[in-house]
Structure 1
């Protein structure tokens, strides 16, 4: 693999670009903002999204989308989940059939409830699609801190190719044939991480967070298996692993936004203060719609939806969770 293109100059795409450049792969990054492109090409730093990290000479930024992807065998969609459809439409006219599309976004589409791979397939039906997911903060990947992730695809031949491209001594890539489970686990954990942050913001302790994470796993498994995912996937990297890292780390935008909301900051101001997309907020609305249609019990998602979109006091939301009818754990 001589050249890889990343579409979106955010933190995780930039971190992966740095990692691949260190492997000797030529990397192109496209971003619609000229300031991001100039910072990468001139200052060798992504000041807005990944500050204080030197970007190797093997990484080149573009604002011309067609030029960025024209010679790349691997094209990584490194934008938030809500931007996947629009970006897929933009690049479709420029693609060759042998180019592999990789997505690192986590979420489902509001309204349609479609997974990322389904959205891409609708807009780019003739190209192989691979999903990369798992517990991987950009800030740590960029510093070569050991990280493990998962790749999946409808055609695992292409997942194996992506595995080989991204594997390093500090970035271990596993394959998993369960594309539904990988995508749903990575999306729902953002909801639970947001809730864990709210708990922290209120001032609750480790007991409350342990409860949220454990019962959050139950919600991930309920909806994930209903949609066709395998239960063992949710106990792996893209379920439990991603849940642990996003609920406990201050690198997590979802947790940080939740902390602010738990302290009484409005959802809008919390997102503005974070300065980047908080995927958990969009996931709450999307999965609330989905679980209502599927008639699945997801009490944490229910309460968080009402806190975010109906103005419910977070402390009263916790009271509601704790005072539900008694039941058996399983």
Structure 2
């Protein structure tokens, strides 16, 4: 049974925010969009809405949530975060930032294999909405579910969010693999080893193992690591073609969250002593410490061992 039409405020007018706005309008909901680039008032946009959805870039999460904190929203309305990244200053995820600023509202994470360009083309897609407040997740599920966008619920917001965040690092590695024309054998090996690395990090930080085998983990990784619609994939591909990171980002003309995520992830891995061999080589590549070819060689030359015997040790970078 579909929910009655609601009034939504979508924060962020980029490709992802616009795609989500289109999905909400397709269901008959009224959508208001706010962005600093639009020059409109965030207070007016969120006034009396039934749901707030944040699709701002990672650097915008903290200032935007601070603005919302000072505004009196309707009581107990869900705040949905659709941003994938890690905060440079705190190493927090977007939902952790929103929870710290708006603790009197249920926070819902929306994440899945969702290329915004395909959604704008009205191609079918699936996603996950996750919250500790499962009723809030179900509200968001009803708002966005349609015949072209299937929405599943989860009670694991941490795992759902980290799956979508960490796969951006692996997408850079996958882009390098394809940019060097290493073939499908090499890429299959990379992605197969990438998943346990994501699980190792994600479960250490509080996510549930099974979540990473779902749409917001494995599903999102397969999509992002296989499509040139993925900005993070294109970063790795461009670096493998001999471009500098600055050139690649200039060519993209938009944010590739995996670059910042990699740097913050290595800070977390060092602090928590989590073994992250693939992420470690991506970090070295992004910080001009190693060439794409050397990164591949470093991964291929790791110590021989059984397939399932990873130990948690500090990454050597």
Q: TM-score range by the shorter chain?
A: over 0.9
Matched residues in 1 for 2:246 and 2:283: separation? Answer: 14
Please list the CA deviations of residues 163-214 of structure 1 after superposition, one character each: whole Å capped at 9, or x if unmatched. 0101001100001111111111111100000110112222222122111111
Instruction: Give structure 2 stretches of 5+ with no counterpart.
Output: 309-317
Query: Does residue 33 of structure 2 align to residue 29 of structure 1?
Result: yes
**1:200 aligned to which of 160, 171, 178:** 178
Instruction: Give 1:311 shift.
Output: 3.1
Q: TM-score, normalised by structure 1?
A: 0.89
- When the two chains are superposed, the root-mean-square deviation of aligned CA atoms in Å is 1.3
> 1:125, CA displacement in angstroms?
2.1
1:12 matches 2:4: no
Determine whether 1:282 maps to 2:286.
no
- Of residues 139, 142, 145, the one that matches 2:117 is 139
Q: Aligned equivalents of 1:141 and 1:69: distance in 2?
A: 25
Query: Any residues of structure 2 matched to 1:287-302 within 5 Å, and which?
Result: 287-302=265-280
Alpha-carbon distance between aligned partners in 1 of 2:299 and 2:124, rounded to the nearest angstrom: 36
SS in 1 for 2:88: coil
Identify the residue that residue 210 of structure 1 maps to in structure 2: 188
Counterparts of 2:157 and 2:42, CA distance in 1: 28
- 5+ residue gaps, structure 1, are 35-61
* Structure 2 residue 229 is the aligned partner of structure 1 residue 251: yes
CA distance in 2: counterparts of 1:182 and 1:2, whole angstroms: 25
Aligned to 2:314: none
Please tell me whether residue 93 in structure 1 is matched to residue 70 in structure 2.
yes
- Given that 2:160 and 2:216 are in contact with CA atoms closer than 8 Å, whether structure 1 keeps it comes out as yes
Deviations 1:139-178 (A, max 9, x none): 1112221111001112111011000101001100001111
Quick check: 1:158 aligned with 2:136? yes
Count of aligned positions:
303
Match of 2:108 among 116, 120, 130: 130
Within 5 A, what are the aligned runs for 1:40-189?
63-96=40-73, 97-189=75-167
SS at match of 1:169: coil
* Cα shift at 1:98: 3.0
TM-score (norm 2): 0.92
CA distance in 1, matches of 2:211, 2:59: 24
Q: Which 4+ residue blocks in structure 1 deviate beyond 2 angstroms?
A: 110-113
Q: Is 2:27–2:143's contact at 8 Å kept on the other side of the alignment?
A: no
| 1:15–1:142 CA contact under 8 A, matched in 2 | yes
| Alpha-carbon distance in structure 2 between the residues aligned to 1:142 and 1:103 | 19
From 215, 224, 244, give the equivalent of 2:202: 224
Distance 1:261 1:324 in 2: 23
Q: What secondary structure sits across from 2:70 in the alignment? A: helix
